[in-house]
Structure 1
Amino acid sequence: MTHFGTIKSYDSAKGEGMIAPEKGGDALPFVKADLQQEAAEPKSGQRYGYATSQVSGGGKARATSLQAENGKRAQAENQQG
């Protein structure tokens, strides 16, 4: 299931960030490897779709498979003509 949220913070030096779920709740951590388009660094306020997974041991959720929403929208507009 895809969830949506907004990038709350991203530290390019560490390759780590936090995303705030649109439906509320605590912000979820993610790492650069979780980004579908690793070349593009996320910026605060950008909307992303993501999946969640549980961190082994601690049981805390984290965001995975992050994909920028603006990329999908641009692709759809280009296909429409």
Structure 2
Amino acid sequence: MSQFGKIRWYNGSKGSGTIIPDSGGDVLPFRRSDLQDNAEPKTDERYSYDTSDAIGGRKRAINLRRQSESQTVEQQARAQRG
């Protein structure tokens, strides 16, 4: 099930960053390879994502997809329900 959040930071040189979940909880790390498009994310951009357990059991964000500003709250809720 997809979740939503905003990019906290991204370092293009290292190819890694973090995303803050809208629902609260821990900030999740992600890698460049987890992005679904080639554009580098910017701070505060909204993304949908899935989660996966990383080594050591810590969760990380995967399958990050940029969300358009025109996407409504209803569309986001529908996407979260599946």
Which amino acid counterpart does residue 53 of structure 2 have in structure 1? Answer: Q
- How many residues are matched? 71
- Alignment partner, residue 14 of structure 2: 14
1:70 positional shift: 1.5
1:52-63 alignment to 2 at 5 Å?
A: 52-56=51-55, 58-63=56-61
Whole-angstrom CA distance in 1 between matches of 2:64 and 2:3? 10
> Cα–Cα, structure 1 residues 68 and 9, in superposed 2: closer, same or farther, change >3 Å?
same
SS in 2 for 1:6: strand
Whole-angstrom CA distance in 2 between matches of 1:71 and 1:41? 17
SS in 2 for 1:63: strand
Superimposed CA distance per residue, residues 32-65 of structure 1 (whole angstroms, 9 cap, x where no aligned partner): 000000x200000000000000013x00000000
Unaligned ranges ≥5, structure 1: 74-81
- Alignment partner, residue 67 of structure 1: 65
1:71 positional shift: 8.0
Unaligned ranges ≥5, structure 2: 72-82
Q: Which runs of 4+ in 1 moved over 3 A?
A: none
Which amino acid counterpart does residue 47 of structure 2 have in structure 1? Answer: Y
1:72 positional shift: 8.2
Whole-angstrom CA distance in 2 between matches of 1:26 and 1:53? 13
Percent identity (aligned): 46
Q: CA RMSD in A?
A: 1.5
